[in-house]
Structure 1
C-alpha cells in the first residue's frame, strides 16, 4: 500500500504538487554544451509537456563541479551558462532548474531559474541549504549516496527552519560497494510518509561512479527503475536527456536518448494514475 499522499499545494506556474496530482518532471542535458543543444532539447521538452499536459522543468548545469578528472569538461560558467539556459527556456516557455554549489551561486542562480538544485555530494552543507532556502525558490535536494532516507529528513528540516518549505528530496541511489549504486525503494515510502515531496533521479541512479577518469553507467536501467519508483509513489521524476548521449560531454553512459523521452513520460504517467487511483 502506497504511503499517504502529501498534502496538495501550489507548485510552479499554477501547477500543483502532492495529493493525487501527477508527477512533475525535470529534464534536459547534463551540462550546457552549446546554445544549439539547449534549443534542440527544449523544443522537444515543450512538445512532450503539451502533448501530455504535464509540468516539465528544463534543466542543465552551468558547471559540473564534481567531475572525476580535472581534464573533464565542466561547462561555460555561471553567468554565461545561465543566460543561455534562460534564453532557450524563454523561447519554448519552460520553467528552469540548475545546480548550485555555494551560497554565492544560490543568490546568482535565483535571478535566472525557477528552481534550484543541490547536488548529492553537497546535500549536508548547511550554509548551502540555508542559502537556497533564503532565495525563496523551490529547491530539489539530491539525497547523497551516503545518506539514509531517515537522515535525509534532517536535511529537509534545515531547509524549512531557514524560512521556506519549498523543498523536494531526490533519491538517486545509495553506494553499494565500490563503483556501484543501488536504489532502495523503501526510501520513497519513508520520506513521503514524513510529509515530504519526493523526486526520483532515474538517470543518475544508473551510474557506476568513479572507476577511472569518468563515471560509467547503464541507461538501460533507467526505465525499469523509474517504473518501480513510480509504483511505490512519488511527486516528481528527474531524467537527463540528450540527442546523442554517447557524444555528450558529461554522463554519456546514463543520459537517455531524446527520442525516448516521450515514451519515458507516458509510461510514468500511466503507472502513476494506476497507483494514485487506489489512494
Structure 2
C-alpha cells in the first residue's frame, strides 16, 4: 500500500483512501466562470462523496500559438483562486512555470502542480519543494514512468516528501498520446500516490495546427481503467461549453455530464480498494 499524504482533515491521497478528484477549467477565463464551475463541482462531489480539489491555471505558458489566450497571470489568478477557496471551502491547485512564481503560489495554493514539459527542471522543483506544500508533478510525455524516480529524489533532497506523480499519457508518434496503465503501478512503487490525468491523456498535441485537439469521448473509459488499476486521484478538466473554452476544449468534459461520468468510477474505486 502506498504512503498516505494528508492535505487536511477531510482529504488524503494514497493509503487505502477513496480517490480524490482534481477538476476545473483548464484556464481561468473569468471569475464568473470559475465560480460557476467550482460551485457545480462542489455540489456533485458532495453528493457522490468524492474528496475534491479545484484546479485552474492562472497562466498557460506552453500554448501552441503565441496568439493563444494564456489567462489572467500570477497576481490576478491567485486572487481569484483565493476567493474560490474561501467561497466554496475547497482546496485549490494550479501550475507554476518558473521558479520565481513558487513563493507567491505557495501562499495561496494547497497543491503546487509542475507541468509535464517542465518535470525535470531542477530549479523549479527545488523552489516548489521549499514552499512545504504538496507538489504534484506531471510525468513528461517523453519519460518512462521509472524515470520519475529522479524527480522524486530532487524533491525529497530539497526537503519535501509530500509528493504526487501524475500520468498524462506518453508521446506515440506524431500528434498522439497513448496511456500505459502499468505506469500508475510503476510510479506507485516509488512510494508516492499517483494521479491519473484523464483529459490531457486524450489530447492530440498540436493537432489543430495552432492549437491542441483531443478526443473527450475516451475520457470515461480511460478513467474507469485507471480506477481498476488503482489510482489515488483523478484529474479532469470541465467546462460548461467545452467547444467554446479558450484552452483544451476538445479534451475537456461537459460540466453537466460530469456526475454521470463519475458514478461508475466511484464504484470501481470502492471495489478495488475493498479487495
Question: Root-mean-square deviation (CA), in Å?
Answer: 1.1
The match for 1:185 is 181
Q: Decide whether the 8 Å contact of 1:68 with 1:214 is kept in 2.
A: yes
Q: Decide whether the 8 Å contact of 2:199 with 2:235 is kept in 1.
A: yes
Within 5 A, what are the aligned runs for 1:10-21? 10-21=6-17
Between stretches 194-203 and 261-270, larger displacement belongs to 261-270
Q: What is the count of residue pairs matched by the alignment? A: 274
1:119 paired with 2:115, answer yes
The match for 2:206 is 210
Residues in 1 aligned to 2:114 and 2:8: alpha-carbon distance in whole angstroms: 18
Within 5 A, what are the aligned runs for 1:53-72? 53-72=49-68
Residues in 2 aligned to 1:85 and 1:109: alpha-carbon distance in whole angstroms: 10
Please state how far the C-alpha of 1:88 moved relative to its aligned partner.
2.4
1:87-139 CA distance string (max 9 Å, x none): 12321111100010111111111111111100000000001011111000011
1:208 and 1:40, CA in 2 relative to 1: closer, same or farther beyond 3 A?
A: same
2:73 aligned residue (77, 100, 114): 77
Between stretches 236-245 and 154-163, larger displacement belongs to 154-163
1:25 aligned residue (17, 21, 31): 21
Residues in 1 aligned to 2:214 and 2:181: alpha-carbon distance in whole angstroms: 19
Please state how far the C-alpha of 1:49 moved relative to its aligned partner.
2.4
The match for 2:37 is 41
1:135 paired with 2:140, answer no
Aligned to 2:137, the other structure's residue is in SS state strand
1:198 aligned residue (194, 197, 200): 194
Residues in 2 aligned to 1:267 and 1:153: alpha-carbon distance in whole angstroms: 32
Residues in 2 aligned to 1:103 and 1:94: alpha-carbon distance in whole angstroms: 25
Please state how far the C-alpha of 1:81 moved relative to its aligned partner.
1.2
The match for 2:262 is 265
TM-score (norm 1): 0.95
The match for 1:228 is 225
Residues in 2 aligned to 1:68 and 1:102: alpha-carbon distance in whole angstroms: 18
Q: Decide whether the 8 Å contact of 2:14 with 2:192 is kept in 1.
A: no
Structure 2 gaps of 5+ residues are none
Residues in 1 aligned to 2:75 and 2:274: alpha-carbon distance in whole angstroms: 44
Moved over 3 A (4+): none
1:99 paired with 2:73, answer no
The match for 1:219 is 216
Q: Decide whether the 8 Å contact of 2:28 with 2:56 is kept in 1.
A: yes
Structure 1 gaps of 5+ residues are none
